[in-house]
């Protein structure tokens, strides 16, 4: 699974001002990211506003993304939800052509027990022909995949190959690193902690910031993976303010503002998300200009 070492990008979904999907913008974004040297792309994760797309729109975005990528980098599909049966049906009808794995967030809102989370992922693992990357993001889902559950899933299912870990809980991360199978991949799900997570043994990041700054993000990740943390401190520090601004008024509104300034795609988001305030937008533009 070396294709998932390095920098993955949780891609935004560009929209036109009327809210329709902007496929021209999506093509520009894909080419921008590949030219920026990233190792893989994630289509329709949380950053892609997948919750606001219809099932038909998701099919179209998945197919279009695969067509444009053309195997140039690895490709991951975000397929998750809190209705396990519906997730499995989606997987069964998913055209896997061009895709290398599925990223599936822990069920949101319902706050399942650890056994419920285990059984949810067990059902997914048994239904998909593709490898599965778990996604733990308690700030969005309302529940945490405990370290014991992560290692249990990793040991019980060979096609559960890794986790995008975004809990921010380093005690938990330490436990996962200690107890996981050697081949199981831990991937940073938080841009600000990519450096320390790789220092603990993570194999890279699935980044939001990298939508706008793929070259800087991937260069930082490579320095960390090479063990040159002293050299990595400078680019890590340079991205702190920019990264904070990406999330100060919600994601992906922040990074879409930067992408609009870079003439990659527009900054339209779908409700219940809204665009960042003019003050934050100006700060994002100023910080972007410092880094490009």
> What are the residue numbers of the active site?
135, 164
CA 204/CA 220 separation, integer angstroms: 10
CA 98/CA 71 separation, integer angstroms: 6
CA 70/CA 90 separation, integer angstroms: 23
CA 183/CA 19 separation, integer angstroms: 42
CA 276/CA 245 separation, integer angstroms: 10
CA 20/CA 126 separation, integer angstroms: 35
Please provide the DSSP assignment of 137-197 as one string. -HHHHSS---HHHHHHHHHH-TTEEEEEE----HHHHHHHHHHS-TT-EEEE--GGGHHHH
CA 205/CA 221 separation, integer angstroms: 7
Q: How far is CA 96 from CA 21, 30, 62, 130, 247, in A?
A: 21, 18, 9, 8, 32
Please provide the DSSP assignment of 64-101 as one string. HHHHHHTTSSEEEEE---S-HHHHHHHHHT---TT--E
Q: How many other C-beta atoms are found inside a 10 Å radius of the C-beta of residue 68?
A: 18
Reading the block at residue 4, the tokens are 């998932």
8 Å CB contact between 255 and 2: no
8 Å CB contact between 24 and 243: no
Q: Enter the DSSP assignment of 21.
A: B
Reading the block at residue 95, the tokens are 């055209």
């Amino acid at each position: 699974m070396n294709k998932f070492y390095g920098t993955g990008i949780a891609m935004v979904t560009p929209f036109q001002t009327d809210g329709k999907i902007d496929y021209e913008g999506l093509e520009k974004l894909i080419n921008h990211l590949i030219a920026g040297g990233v190792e893989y792309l994630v289509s329709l994760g949380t950053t892609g506003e997948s919750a606001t797309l219809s099932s038909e729109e998701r099919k179209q975005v998945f197919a279009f993304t695969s067509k444009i990528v053309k195997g140039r980098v690895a490709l991951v599909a975000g397929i998750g939800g809190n209705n396990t049966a519906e997730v499995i049906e989606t997987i069964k009808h998913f055209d896997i052509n061009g895709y290398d794995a599925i990223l599936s967030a822990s069920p949101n809102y319902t706050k399942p027990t650890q056994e419920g989370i285990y059984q949810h992922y067990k059902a997914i693992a048994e239904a998909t022909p593709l490898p599965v990357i778990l996604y733990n993001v308690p700030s969005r889902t309302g529940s945490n995949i405990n370290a014991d559950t992560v290692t249990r899933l990793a040991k019980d299912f060979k096609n559960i190959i890794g986790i995008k870990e975004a809990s921010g809980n380093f005690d938990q991360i330490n436990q996962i690193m200690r107890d996981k199978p050697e081949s199981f991949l831990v991937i940073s799900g938080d841009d600000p902690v990519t450096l320390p997570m790789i220092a603990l043994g993570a194999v890279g990041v699935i980044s939001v910031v990298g939508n706008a700054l793929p070259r800087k993000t991937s260069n930082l990740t490579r320095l960390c993976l090479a063990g040159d943390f002293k050299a990595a401190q400078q680019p890590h520090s340079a991205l702190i303010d920019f990264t904070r601004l990406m999330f100060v008024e919600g994601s992906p509104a922040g990074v879409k503002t930067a992408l609009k300034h870079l003439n990659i795609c527009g900054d339209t988001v779908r409700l219940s998300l809204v665009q960042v305030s003019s003050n934050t937008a100006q700060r994002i533009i100023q910080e972007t200009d410092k880094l490009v």
